Amino acid sequence: MNQITLTDMTDLATGAAILGTGGGGDPYRGRLVAEQAIKSHGPVRVIQPDELDDDGLVVPLWNIGAPVIGMERIEKGDEGVRALRALEDFLGKKAVAIAPVEVGGSNSTMPVRAAALTGLPLVDCDGMGRAYPEVQMITPTLFDIPATPATLVDAAGNCIVLQTTSNLQTERIARAVCVQMGGRAAMAGYPMTGRQIREAMIPGTLSLALKIGRSLREARAQHDDPIQAILDVTGGFRLFSGKIVDVYRRIAQGWARGHFDVQGANETVRVDFQNEFLLARTLAGRLLCSVPDLIMSVDSQTGEPVTTESLHYGFRVTLLGIPCNGRWRTPGGIALGGPGYFGYDQAYQPVETLVKDVGSRA
């Protein structure tokens, strides 16, 4: 992958929505604004982490806030670029490249738009290999790389520069600022050198998203099983299929929080979410999958991702579980993004172990 063209965007957005585990922002709108920038400015050059100079400044970009608000608020479209420029001004140094913080949802396409508008290359990597709801939940945190200085920009033109004492404090303060900005803002932060990008970020995740989307599209065109196409690329598992019979969703503290229930032939599964899907278990208490592994909800017929903001009664969905990047399975990774962080009295168990256990009982 050496560039992102107009024809790549649908596949990229679809794959990113699947990796977004329900969150990361609306992939459809994210695709449209990225496509508009590519139409006006041409394809985005994509580089690999090992192409970066050791000391070159790389700036990750992302949107913060509840995804459902991103569907309801019209953005100007230059917020990401303004956040980037504000951070460059504060640092007194120009960026040589842009990187996504998370490959999930529109947070993969927002940096594409910024790269097209600025002419900067986009690094084929991210800090999650998925989407996560909080700013500190990124692999650079595991390497003691600070989130700040960071900038927040909203559609009204407001800009805030943050310098904090920890990445967790960055999350808390940025979330409060985001709420005051209307629940949605663009951020630039985690400024890193090329050397730090290679050390701390997860390589190849944009390529993975593109491959997932392309495989899904080709499977449908060939009348193959689209869900199996996703699993073949990701190494994931089918967890459960059924009809959505209940959705409880609210906006609280800058997140979309709640759960949805999927009723199958013999049991019902509940999936909790905080922007992203966190934990799936039967109403009887049997665990199917939890963070940091990826839980995905896709249309049972088409394989199209069903995100947090698009959950509705009556949808027939299949829940998928996909193993996370190995960095999230370390003690530090589990402490940062595992079930215990979100308040569950549930030890993390790899999804492949849970699936194997079910098979052994069958």
Domain boundaries, the chain: 3-205, 225-361
Is residue 140 within 8 Å of residue 201, measured between CB atoms? Answer: yes
CA torsion angle 172 123 28 268 (round to 10): -60
Q: Which residues pair with 248 in a beta bridge?
A: 259
**Cα–Cα distance measured from residue 277 to residue 342, given in angstroms and rounded to the nearest whole number:** 11
According to the 3-state scheme, what is the secondary structure of 275-312? CEEEEEEECCCCEEEECCCEEEEEECCCCCECCHHHCC
The per-residue pLDDT for 160 is: 98
Residue type, 43: P
R_g of the chain computed on alpha carbons:
19
CATH, domain range 3-205: 3.40.1610.10
How many other CB atoms are found less than 10 A from the CB of residue 98? 24
Question: In whole angstroms, what is the distance from residue 201 CA to residue 203 CA?
Answer: 6
Q: What are the distances in angstroms from CA 166 to CA 141, 190, 312, 351?
A: 9, 12, 38, 31
**Pairing relationship of beta strands 237-252 and 316-322 according to DSSP bridges:** antiparallel
Both structure tokens of 110? 């927002």
pTM for the model: 0.94
Side-by-side strand order, sheet with 316-322 = 287-290, 276-282, 268-274, 255-263, 237-252, 316-322, 294-299
pLDDT at 360: 35
Specify whether the CB–CB gap between 256 and 308 falls below 8 A. yes
Q: Distance of CA 31 to CAs 113, 144, 312, 360, Å?
A: 9, 33, 22, 42
What is the per-residue pLDDT for 98? 99
Residues of the chain whose pLDDT is less than 70? 25, 67-75, 357-362
pLDDT value of position 323: 98
List the beta strands (DSSP E) in 170-236: 184-188, 192-193, 202-203
**Which class is 225-361 in CATH?**
mainly beta
pLDDT at 252: 77
* Sequence-distant (≥ 6) Cβ neighbours of residue 156 within 8 angstroms: 181, 182
Closest of 316, 266, 315, 324 to residue 295, by C-alpha: 324
How far, in Å, are 124, 334, 357 from residue 274 at the CA level? 26, 17, 27
What number of other Cβ atoms are within 10 A of residue 296's Cβ? 29
Can 3-205 and 225-361 be said to share one CATH topology?
A: no
